Structure 1
Amino acid sequence: MKTIDALARGLEVLRSLDERRGQSLAELHRVTGVPKASLLRILDTLEQGGFAWRAIGDRRYRRRVSLIFRPGIDDALLGIGEIAAPFLESLRMKVIWPSDVLVHRNFRMELVETSRRQSALNVAVYAIGYRVEMFLSAPGRAFLAFCSDAERAAILADAAAHPPQLARARQVLAGELPAILGETRRLGYASRDPLFGGTEDKPMHVHDDGIDAIAVPAVANGKVLACVNLVWPRKYRLKAQIVADHLGDLQDAAGAIAAAAARAPKCSTE
């Protein structure tokens, strides 16, 4: 029986997209053997048909999470990044500063989408899947402040069993955390610790990504689905101005992401 060559090529590309880390155009070309010009047309067709998407954070192509009949936890979390992408881009166009969306997984915050690459501003860029510590980062503190008591207790129990590598994180855990979380709830946003350089294993004098950040939770049906931040170079000392001018915009974006995720079966809020 004669096959439809164009359809066969499209299915081969779609099969190759079944990888959570995503693939670049060059990688897909190497794996499938489809010429790049044809590959671009196939990918455009798959995107328009709702079968594939291209993350703004790393420009890699992925098949849509909604195509998975029985999504696992990683698929559900990545689906929040897929949903968040247009809201992040709209937020960046409005406030200039880029943002990340992070979800809680295995006692860390995990990056699932970011608009940093689209920004002309000089800020450090982390790959999708980058894991962020809980007690010094703005997203980690936002999650801890607004998550359920059970989730918070589990995170603290893990930290007690596996103490953080950073001395500053251990100091926060030893006595400062309740006040930090109380202030976060009062203000409605979390702030990055001024002594946090961006990694969970290197102190600031060894590694400093040079950014500052605030973050808010994306909440649906009483559950924190993700946290959304705004980031900017710390040297500009803009926190007070950004809070005054753009906290409402950040909260609106987080609310829109949560509402869209709540409507999507793959991002269950149960």
Structure 2
Amino acid sequence: MASKVESGSVRSVERALAILELLGLHQALGLEELHYLTGLPKATASRMLLTLQEQGWIYRGLSDRRYRLSAKRLFGDSQLRFKRHMVEQAAPWLQELSERTGLVTDLSCFDGERLEVMESSIPTVLRKRYPNNCQIVGHYSSLFHSAMGKACLAALEPQQVERLAAREQVPLEDQYQACEQSQHQGFGQRTEGYWEYPVRLPFLIRAVALPIWAEGRLVGSMALHWPMDQAPVERVLSLHMASLAATVDDVQRVLA
């Protein structure tokens, strides 16, 4: 007969495998959902998740607090693995930057066609104003109006920009302004009065962004964004642009 220790260990392994199987099936799940699907008490599920996270099996999102299989546990889709790897490597830097600046920090991934918002870190001082910011994660941002999109456009060849503009039916004037402004300034700046996501915040925002490179190719961008009534762009540039640039450098280094 197995000892209590052995049987307890087996049960722990079975529970961990059940959680991993569910995350593989559903892509992302929160603690409440895992508690319901596994039948485990929340305290037990929470302990199991913490152990799996510490062992590198899962990643917990900064914005939605949901759990996902980590990049190195995914198979088959190399693009998805890279996106997850990028998020996992960048997450600590995103969180540190958002707390240090008091601004929201967003991370996007550019696949050559579209710009997907992969993660968002909200500083403690702004959490009450951004209760639903996690909804933008997983959405595609406008290349020609979002700060993150403009940061990427400025790094592309003119022929690539023209192709993307034609696909999105962007007027020539908007195309020209998006590229010229970003190339002249050295960063992407959000188009005032234009909302770039399918979901809306209850207030207007401003944003600035820089591109992210890995192994000689453009892979995405990182942005600081904040409520419009909080500060003008010039003040944020003066106070925090150097921090954004340093964080992008750190993320590029860990991706390399």
Calculate the TM-score normalised by the size of structure 1.
0.81
Who is 2:94 aligned against? 88
Q: Is the 8 A contact 1:56 1:118 kept in 2?
A: no
Whole-angstrom distance in 1 between the partners of 2:191 and 2:26? 31
Whole-angstrom distance in 1 between the partners of 2:75 and 2:69? 13
Are 2:161 and 1:155 equivalent residues in the alignment?
no
Q: Alpha-carbon deviation of 1:197?
A: 2.6
Q: Alpha-carbon deviation of 1:16?
A: 1.3
Q: Is the 8 A contact 1:139 1:216 kept in 2?
A: yes
Instruction: Give the secondary-structure state (helix, strand or coil) at the position aligned to 1:231.
Output: strand
Residues 133 and 183 of structure 1, relative CA distance in 2, 3 Å threshold: closer
Whole-angstrom distance in 2 between the partners of 1:119 and 1:222? 36
Are 2:240 and 1:242 equivalent residues in the alignment?
no
What amino acid is aligned across from residue 150 of structure 2 in structure 1?
R
Q: What is the CA deviation profile of residues 105-140 of structure 1, one whole-angstrom value per residue up to 9, with x for unaligned ones?
A: 474321111012755252461422022111111111
Whole-angstrom distance in 2 between the partners of 1:8 and 1:133? 44
Whole-angstrom distance in 2 between the partners of 1:234 and 1:32? 44
Whole-angstrom distance in 2 between the partners of 1:106 and 1:201? 23
Q: Alpha-carbon deviation of 1:245?
A: 1.3
Query: Gapped runs of 5+ residues in structure 1?
Result: 164-169, 263-270
Percent of residue pairs bearing the same amino acid type: 24
Whole-angstrom distance in 2 between the partners of 1:239 and 1:194? 11
Who is 2:69 aligned against? 63
How is 1:103-142 mapped onto 2 (pairs within 5 angstroms)? Answer: 103-105=109-111, 107-116=113-122, 118-120=124-126, 122-123=129-130, 125-127=133-135, 128-142=137-151
Who is 2:197 aligned against? 199
**Of 206, 210, 215, which aligns to 1:221?**
215
Q: Alpha-carbon deviation of 1:150?
A: 6.0
**Of 20, 28, 33, which aligns to 1:27?**
33
Residues 145 and 238 of structure 1, relative CA distance in 2, 3 Å threshold: same
Q: RMSD between aligned alpha carbons?
A: 2.6
What amino acid is aligned across from residue 182 of structure 1 in structure 2?
E
Who is 1:101 aligned against? 107
Q: Alpha-carbon deviation of 1:97?
A: 0.7
Whole-angstrom distance in 2 between the partners of 1:179 and 1:212? 17
Whole-angstrom distance in 1 between the partners of 2:120 and 2:87? 8
Residues 216 and 52 of structure 1, relative CA distance in 2, 3 Å threshold: same
Which stretch of the first structure deviates more once superposed, 213-222 or 40-49? Answer: 213-222
Q: Alpha-carbon deviation of 1:21?
A: 4.5
**Of 186, 197, 211, which aligns to 2:184?**
186
Query: Gapped runs of 5+ residues in structure 2?
Result: none
Whole-angstrom distance in 1 between the partners of 2:179 and 2:93? 27
Instruction: Give the secondary-structure state (helix, strand or coil) at the position aligned to 1:146.
Output: coil
Q: What is the CA deviation profile of residues 168-215 of structure 1, one whole-angstrom value per residue up to 9, with x for unaligned ones?
A: xx4xx322433432331232211001121343699xxxx874111001
Whole-angstrom distance in 2 between the partners of 1:116 and 1:57? 7
Who is 2:56 aligned against? 50
Instruction: Give the secondary-structure state (helix, strand or coil) at the position aligned to 2:59.
Output: strand
Query: Which portions of structure 1, spanning 4 or more consecutive aligned residues, are displaced by more than 4 angstroms?
Result: 148-151
Q: Is the 8 A contact 2:205 2:226 kept in 1?
A: yes
